[in-house]
Structure 1
Amino acid sequence: MNALDQAIFVAGHRGMVGSAIVRRLKAIGYTNIITRSRKELNLLDQQAVHQFFEQNKIQQIYLAAAKVGGILANNTYPAEFIHENLMIEANVIHEAHKADINKLLFLGSSCIYPRLAEQPIREDSLLTGQLEPTNEPYAIAKIAGIKLCESYNRQFGRDYRSVMPTNLYGPHDNFHTENSHVVPALLRRFHEAVENKQDEVVIWGTGAPLREFMYVDDMASACVHVMELEMSSYQRYTQPMLSHINIGTGKDCSIKELAKLIAKITGFSGKLVFDNSKPDGTPRKLLDVSRLEAMGWQSGIDLETGLNNAYQWFLENHQKART
C-alpha cells in the first residue's frame, strides 16, 4: 500500500490547528484524509468514538480537537476547559488503542510548563513547578494527554507521540475580542479601531510579558514531520520517559512589540493604552526547540509575514470568521 493512501483521521479539522494539518497533509499528497464535524462525531461521547473507529479502518490519528481560549475564557470557564479536554483525549486515545490504531499524534500546549520555568523551556521542565493559575485546568488536561500517550506506549507498545506548540495564530483562528488569544483579538481590535476612526486601542496588561508566536501552517509542517519520523529517530530525542516535543520558532517578543507590529499591519496610527488592572499571565514563555531542530525541522515563517497572512485571511473571511 502506498504510504500516501493511509487512512488518516484529523480530529478537530475545522479548528485553526486541525485545518492547518489537513492543508499540510494534502500538500504533501495524502489522499485518504478522514474528518468529522462535531455534529457528525461527538468526541465527548465514548460510545460514539468507539463506533467510529469500529466502522472506519483508521491508520493514523492527529488529535487536534480541543476546547481552547485566552486568559478570560480560561478564567471564566475552568470546569469546561478541564472536563471537555480530558474527555476528548481519553476517549480518542483509549478507543484508538482498542481499535489497534498504532500511530497517533496528540497536540498539547506550551502552558503545560511551570509558570516560572527556566527560559527557554526544555521538555524535561514538565512537572517541575507550579502552573500559571489563569489556565491551570486547561494545562492539567493537556498534561494528562501527554501521560496517556506515555502510558499506552509503555504498557502496550503503542506509537503515540505528543507535540507542544507555542502560541499559535493564523487562518480559522477565533477572533472574539475577549475570549480569543492575544493575536486574533488584537488583529480584530485594531482593524475595528481603524474602521471606526478611534484614537486609541486598549490592550490588556502592562505589555511587558514576552511571548513566542508561531504561524499555524508552520506548526502543521512540524507536526507532520514529527509524525513521519522513523520510531528510532523519534525515540532518540524523547528518551528517557518523554513522549513530547516542543514546537516553536525559538524567538519571542513583548506584547507591546506585538501590538505595535499589528498596529502597523492594520494601518492604525492612534495611541496604544495598556490596562494594568488586567492580568499579564506568565512573565515569559519561550520554548527550547533544540530537539525539534535536531530532528531536522526549523521554523520558516517569521512573525511579520505570518501576521500579514493572518490579517489578510481575516479580511477575506470577515463574515465567517469566529468572532
Structure 2
Amino acid sequence: MAALRIFVAGHKGMVGSAIVRQLKKHTNVEILTATRGELNLLDQAAVHAWFKQQEPDQVYLAAAKVGGIHANNEYPAEFIYENLMIEANIINAAHQTGVQKLLFLGSSCIYPKHAEQPMREDALLTGTLEPTNEPYAIAKIAGIKLCESYNRQYGHDYRSVMPTNLYGSNDNFHPENSHVIPALIRRFHEAKEAGAEQVAAWGTGSPMREFLHVDDMAAASVHVMQLDDATYHANTQPMLSHINVGTGVDCTIKELTETVASVVGFRGEIVWDTSKPDGAPRKLMDVSRLKALGWQASIKLEDGLRDTYQWFLEHQDNFRG
C-alpha cells in the first residue's frame, strides 16, 4: 500500500511543526513540506503548479500570518491580504488537483467580541468582531466558508478546526509582535537576567483567556482529520462545519502573568500598564463538540508553560536583538 502523501503548509511555524511531529508518529505517511524559498503561498500559479507536481493526498493548512494585539493593530492590511491569499490559493489548488481531504486551521477570534461564553460554533457571524484583530478574523472566517463552499459544490471533505490561544515550542518570541505567553516569557526572563525590580504588563489583567499547548492542538488536528465521514458529519452541519479546539478552561491575564513569572523565576513586582488595550473581555471555547468526537486536551497550563520556557532557554540565541 502506497504511503499517504500529506502536505503540511506552514511546517516551519509553531502549529505546522507540531503537526509534523504528530504525523511522524504514524506509519505509512509521507510528509510533504515547502519552505518560503521553495514555494510562495501568495503566488496562485506557483501553488497550483506545486500541487500538480507533488500530488498530495491530504492537506493540513497551518500556514498563516499571525501576531498579537500590537501586530494586528499595526499591520491590518498585511493580516487580511496575506491570510486571504494563502488560504484561497491552497484550497483552490487542492480542489483543482483532486485533493479530497483538507484541514483548515482557523482561530477563536472568528467569534463576536461579546459572544455568549463559552463560545459555541454557532456563534459565528452573530455579532461584531473584536476591532483589534478584525482583519485577521475576517480572513479566517473566509477560510471556513471556502471549505464549506467547496464541500457543498464539489463534494469534498474539507474540515476546519478553530483553536483557542496557542503556545508552545517554536513560538514567536518577538518583543513586540508576539502573543501574550511568549511575550511574557521573554519579558520576565530578560528582567530576571538584568536583575530588574519591576516588569510592565499590558492592560488591566482582568480579561479571561483560554490557552492550549500546541502539541495538544496538533493531536486534535490529526484526530479530527482521521475521523471517518459518518462520525465527523454526525457532529457537524453542512454550513456549520468548523470545530472548536481548546481546553474548556480559562484564567485571567493576571493569573497567567503571575504563573509565567513563577515559572521563569522572576521575583520582582508586576506593574500593569492600563494605557494598553485589553482586547476582548473573555474568550472561552465550548469544546463539547470535540469531546463528543472523542478528544480532549491533556497538557495542563503550568506544565505547558514550563515546557515552553525550557524550549525558549534552549533557543534564546535565536531571539537576540
Find 2:10's aligned residue among 9, 12, 21: 12
Deviation at 1:319, TM superposition (A): 1.6
SS state at 1:164 partner: strand
User: Any conservation in 2 of the 1:177–1:186 contact (CA below 8 Å)?
Assistant: no
Please say if residues 172 and 322 of structure 1, whose CA atoms lie closer than 8 Å, have aligned partners that are also in contact: no
Query: Are 2:288 and 1:294 equivalent residues in the alignment?
Result: no
Shift of 1:240: 4.7
Alpha-carbon distance between aligned partners in 1 of 2:268 and 2:92, rounded to the nearest angstrom? 52
CA–CA distance in 2 between the matches of 1:294 and 1:284? 24
In 1, Cα distance between equivalents of 2:267 and 2:78: 39
- Superposition deviation, residue 275 in structure 1: 0.5
Q: In structure 2, how many angstroms separate the alpha carbons of the residues matched to 1:166 and 1:321?
A: 25
**Which position in structure 2 is the counterpart of 1:219?**
217
Residue 111 (structure 1) aligns with: 109
Is the counterpart of residue 90 in structure 1 residue 88 in structure 2? yes
Q: Which runs of 5+ in 2 are unaligned?
A: none
1:191/1:268 contact within 8 Å kept: yes
Aligned residue pairs, count: 321
* AA aligned opposite 1:253: C
Aligned to 2:145: 147
Letter of the 1:270 counterpart: G
Query: How high is the TM-score relative to the length of structure 1?
Result: 0.98
Q: CA deviation at 1:31?
A: 3.4
CA shift at 1:243, angstroms?
1.4
Please state how far the C-alpha of 1:241 moved relative to its aligned partner: 1.8
Q: Aligned equivalents of 1:71 and 1:205: distance in 2?
A: 11
2:6–2:29 CA contact under 8 A, matched in 1: no
Q: Aligned to 1:14, what secondary structure does the other structure show? A: coil
Distance (Å, rounded) in 2 between the aligned partners of 1:171 and 1:93:
27
Post-superposition Cα deviations, 1:105-124, rounded to whole Å, max 9, x if no partner, equal 00000000000000000000
Over aligned residue pairs, what C-alpha RMSD do you find? 1.0
CA displacement, residues 249-292 of structure 1 (integer Å, 9 cap, x when unaligned): 00000000001101100110000011100000000000000000
* Alignment correspondent of 1:68: 66
Q: CA deviation at 1:322?
A: 8.8
Alpha carbons 2:14, 2:170 under 8 Å: kept = yes
SS state of the match for residue 319, structure 1?
A: helix
Matched to 1:153, the amino acid is N
2:276 aligns with 278
- TM-score, normalised via structure 2 length: 0.98
Q: Name the CA distance, whole Å, in 2 between partners of 1:133 and 1:180.
A: 18
How far is the alpha carbon of 1:30 from its aligned partner?
A: 4.9
Measure the CA separation in 2 of the matches of 1:303 and 1:100.
40
Measure, in 1, the Cα distance between the counterparts of 2:264 and 2:79.
32
- Equivalents in 1 of 2:77, 2:320: separation in Å? 22
Residue 43 of structure 1 corresponds to 41
1:228 aligns with 226
Contact 1:89–1:145 at 8 Å: present in 2 too?
yes
Q: Which runs of 4+ in 1 moved over 4 A?
A: none
Return the alpha-carbon distance in structure 1 between the equivalents of residues 244 and 83 of structure 2: 20
Contact 2:108 2:285 in 1 (8 A): yes
Gaps of 5+ in 1: none
